[in-house]
Amino acid sequence: MTTKNSAVEVAGPRKSYGDHGDDGQRAERSDGTMRHFTIHHDGVTIPVSRGGRGRPLVLCPGLNSTRADLHELADLLRRDHDVVTFDLRGHGLASAAGRYSFEAFLSDLAAVMAELARLDLDAAPVLVGYSLGADLAVHYTSEHPGSVAGLVLIDGANPVPEPFITEAVLPEFRAMWEDMVTQQEAVRGTARQVLLTAQEILDLNVEIDAVRSEILDRYQKIDRPISMIMSTSMAGDSGAGHVLRFNQNWRAGVERLGREQPRIDTSWLDADHGLVFTHAPEIAQIIRSTHGPVGHTRGDWRDADHR
């Protein structure tokens, strides 16, 4: 998705909201407690940053978003969480890959979580995912019971009743992503770059539609607390073109999930899909109130199945 009054981008924005600096990592440079390392798996290199204090928390970006894009939310969360952030393959400072698929991105998250299980975290982390990152978080947690303390899903992992990418909107989406890829030249080589082609982004959005059509089964396998933070107007508020249908489909998916899983706590923000950029303080407060610091020490979560 992009800004309000614009066409929807199903799995993540590339619009800049605010000044991130040259590489979006000013906080890391000024904070001596930040630690950086890389993970090598499946032929790709995944950069990871860790910093802050308190309950462990892993922040997973989505398609077309990077650690640098999410720096404001990460900085706010570091005030009372030990926050881990990373880039998915082909995004930010991660290396390019020979393939981009939902399962490939899921393997990136799994590799990060497996590495964290070998480190000195005090407890199982809260897993926070944005857009596609929310879908990855749900799938990961359903496959690795006991590995996380809870989930926070930000405008993603939504069992929408209808797919977003249809023949009617295909030309509009293709043109939008081709334009986005062209604009990427301005940030090539920086922490905000995305290396995917327009066709790869389109194919991934079609795949995400299919993944979300079956995601209710994944929720049934999760026994951890789940919080959702959703936008009221994910496609914008112009009311033009397909925007109204997109927004109705988005809300219908959340309502469907609420009927199937009434235990899930859902918060709505008056925003579009760029809510992680425009409403970072509100999101951080919701996370803080639902997954604040805890006093327990290391448990047996390290022995969970990190396949």
pLDDT at 241: 76
pLDDT at 279: 98
The topology under which CATH files domain 26-291 is Rossmann fold (3.40.50)
Q: How far is it, in rounded angstroms, from Cα 66 to Cα 64?
A: 7
Beta bridge partners of residue 202, listed in sequence order: none
Strand 55-60 relative to strand 35-41, pairing = unpaired
Q: In whole angstroms, what separates CA 60 from the centre of its chain?
A: 5
pLDDT, tens digit (0-9, with 9 covering 90-100), for 59-106: 999 999 999 999 999 999 999 999 999 999 999 999 999 999 999 999
Tokens linked to 147? 């590995």
- What is the value of pTM for the model shown? 0.88
Residues of the chain with pLDDT under 70: 1-32, 293-307
DSSP labels, 147-177: S-SEEEEES-----SS-S--TTTHHHHHHHH
pLDDT at 239: 75
Burial of 50 per CB tally in 10 Å (0-12, 13-18, 19+)? buried
Strand 55-60 relative to strand 126-130, pairing = parallel
pLDDT at 127: 98
pLDDT at 81: 96
Strands lying side by side in the sheet with 150-154: 35-41, 44-52, 81-86, 55-60, 126-130, 150-154, 226-231, 265-269
In 3D, which of 53, 132, 56 has the Cα closest to residue 87?
Answer: 132
pLDDT at 122: 84
- Residue type (1 letter), 203: D
pLDDT at 293: 62
* Extents of the domains making up the chain: 26-291
DSSP labels, the chain: --STTS---TT------S--TTTS-HHHHH-TT-EEEEEEETTEEEEEEEEESSEEEEEE--TT--TTTTHHHHHHHTTTEEEEEE--TTBTTSPP-S---HHHHHHHHHHHHHHHHTTT-SSPPEEEEETHHHHHHHHHHHHSTTS-SEEEEES-----SS-S--TTTHHHHHHHHHHHHHHGGGGTTSTT-B---HHHHHHHHHHHHHHHTTHHHHHTT--S-EEEEEETTTT-S---TTHHHHHHHHHHHHHHHHHH-TT-EEEEESS-TTHHHHSHHHHHHHHHHHS--------SGGGS---
Q: How far is it, in rounded angstroms, from Cα 221 to Cα 141?
A: 8
pLDDT, tens digit (0-9, with 9 covering 90-100), for 172-192: 899 999 999 999 999 999 999
pLDDT at 10: 52
